[in-house]
Structure 1
Amino acid sequence: MSETTLTGPRGPRALALDGEVLTGEAVALDLQPIGLGLRVLGGLIDAVLAWLVYLAIMIWGVGSLFDAGILTEGTLQIFAIVFLVVCFAVLPITVETLTHGRSLGKLAAGGRIVRADGGATGFRHAFIRGLVGVLEVYMSFGGIALLVGIFTPRAERLGDLVAGTYSERARRPALPAPAAFLPPELAGWAEVADVARLPARLDAQVTRFASSAAKMHAGARARIAADLARDVTPFVSPVPSAPPEVLLAGVAAVRRERERTVLRTERERAARLGGQDPFTGA
Structure 2
Amino acid sequence: MPPSTTSTVRDLVGDATGRRYVFTELSLPAGGTTPFRRHPDDLRTHIVIGGAVELEAAAAPGEVSTTRYGAFTGWHAPPGSVYRLVNRGDTEALVIEAGTRAGTVREADDAAALLDTPAPPPACRDASDYTVDKPWGHEVWYTANLDGPPYAVKQIHMTAGHQSSLQSHRFKAETNYVVEGEAKVLNGLRAPADTTEAVDPARIPAALHGPRTGWSSAPDILHRVIAQRTYTSIEVSTSELDDVIRWQDDTGRGDGRIDSEHEGAR
State the TM bucket, normalised to the shorter chain. Answer: under 0.3
Larger Rg, first or second structure (1 or 2): 1
Of Structure 1 and Structure 2, the greater strand share is in 2
Of Structure 1 and Structure 2, the greater helix share is in 1
TM-score w.r.t. structure 2 length?
0.25
